[in-house]
């Protein structure tokens, strides 16, 4: 069968380097789950290393031409190819509430949306690993006080320990993307339930960073805080000065204020 020709609008940049594919597959520690879901397998360069592991590999791929290629070339995948859009598909039609890991050389045009979707599914995802454009991978793993530290960093690190693992050159892809890539791994924290309203935590983090150069006193105005609470010195800070723990403390204070 003919190889699939890359389609730009689907973020297709096929990895050519087998050793990097193997290194990415090897980032999974395989603990706490029996199933792994690869998002955007393309022609299966990463998939074939997953299929060697003592785990059930499922793939979800939006491109029907890639799906046909996978179906023909990887008999072990039969019955485990989901021909859908990861962002729109209800993955529990396959996993039915079970724990599963996510991996991929992800489509970069939707990378942050993939992370947000995975965060929504955090109760079922003990491990999340793979490749993004370098800047996004770094942003997810960044600590407070840096320019890149933002919504993605705080929300991901509230529930996961994030590690930036290695950088990948643009030259090992066909066609080469414009940017370098970075591989990361997120391992869910043992206790990943926050000691505050998680819904309010998401709102506080997102609202705070929407105007990242303002103090929280200004940016969180829309939350209708009491005058008393607004005097708290935490509101003198800008969002990038708060660690994940600080955001949790802030959320607790706002919760106690009765928003
Ligand atoms: N993993 C392969 C392909 C990477 S390119 C490799 O390393 O070579 C990204 C892949 O994601 C493409 O195959 C593209 O078709 C697929 N893709 C893009 N958007 C998707 C979506 N919303 N859901 C599932 N797959 C998607």
- Is residue 237 domain-resident? yes
Expressed as residue numbers, the domain containing 243 is 198-256
Number of domains observed in the structure of the chain: 2
Query: From the alpha carbon of 21, which atom of ligand 1 is closest?
Result: 7
The residue whose CA is least distant from atom 11 of ligand 1 is 40
Q: Which tens digits make up the pLDDT trace of 77-112?
A: 999 999 999 999 999 999 999 999 999 999 999 999
Residue with the nearest Cα to atom 6 of ligand 1?
A: 14
Long-range contacts of 170-176 (CB under 8 A, 24+ apart): 172/15, 172/16, 172/17, 172/20, 173/13, 173/14, 173/15, 173/16, 174/6, 174/13, 174/14, 174/16, 175/6, 175/13, 176/13
Distance 61 CA to ligand 1 centre (A): 6
The CATH number that applies at residue 156 is: 3.40.50.150
Structure tokens, 239: 């969002």
The CATH number covering residue 237 comes to 1.10.8
Q: Is 40 in the pocket of ligand 1 (CB under 6 A)?
A: yes
Q: Are residues 74 and 92 in the same domain?
A: yes
Same domain (yes/no): 91, 169: yes
The tens digit of pLDDT for each residue in 11-33 reads: 999 999 999 999 999 999 999 99
Considering only CA atoms, which residue is closest to atom 5 of ligand 1? 12
Please tell me whether residues 87 and 137 are part of one structural domain: yes
139 and 224 belong to one structural domain: no
Q: What is the pLDDT of residues 107-134, one digit of tens each?
A: 999 999 999 999 999 999 999 999 999 9
The CB of 157 under 6 Å from ligand 1? The reply is no
Ligand 1 centroid distance, CA of 16 (Å): 14
Domain boundary among the residues 143, 159, 188 is at 188
- What global pTM score does this model have? 0.96
* C-beta 242 within 6 A of ligand 1: no
Residues 6+ apart with CB under 8 A from 53: 25, 28, 30, 36
Write out the two tokens for 220. Answer: 């969180």
């Amino acid at each position: 069968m003919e190889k699939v020709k890359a389609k730009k609008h689907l973020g297709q940049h096929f990895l050519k380097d087998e050793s990097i594919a193997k290194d990415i597959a090897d980032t999974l520690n395989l603990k706490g789950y029996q199933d792994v879901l690869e998002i955007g397998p393309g022609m299966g360069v990463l998939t074939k290393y997953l299929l060697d592991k003592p785990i059930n590999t499922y793939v979800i791929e939006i491109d029907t031409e890639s799906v046909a290629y996978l179906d023909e070339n990887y008999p072990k995948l039969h019955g485990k190819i989901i021909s859908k859009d990861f962002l729109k598909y209800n993955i529990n039609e396959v996993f039915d509430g079970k724990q599963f890991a996510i991996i991929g050389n992800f489509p970069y045009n939707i990378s942050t949306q993939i992370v947000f979707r995975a965060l929504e599914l955090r109760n079922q995802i003990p491990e999340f690993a793979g490749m993004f454009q370098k800047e996004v991978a770094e942003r997810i793993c960044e600590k407070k006080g840096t320019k890149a530290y933002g919504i993605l960093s705080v929300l991901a690190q509230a529930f996961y320990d994030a590690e930036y693992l290695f950088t990948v050159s643009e030259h090992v892809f066909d066609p080469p993307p414009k940017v370098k890539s970075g591989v990361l791994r997120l391992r869910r924290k043992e206790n990943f339930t926050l000691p505050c309203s998680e819904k309010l935590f998401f709102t506080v983090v997102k609202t705070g960073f929407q105007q990242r150069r303002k103090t929280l006193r200004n940016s969180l105005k829309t939350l209708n805080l009491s005058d008393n609470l607004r005097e708290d010195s935490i509101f003198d800070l800008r969002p990038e000065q708060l660690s994940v723990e600080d955001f949790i403390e802030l959320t607790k204070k706002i919760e106690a204020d009765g928003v």
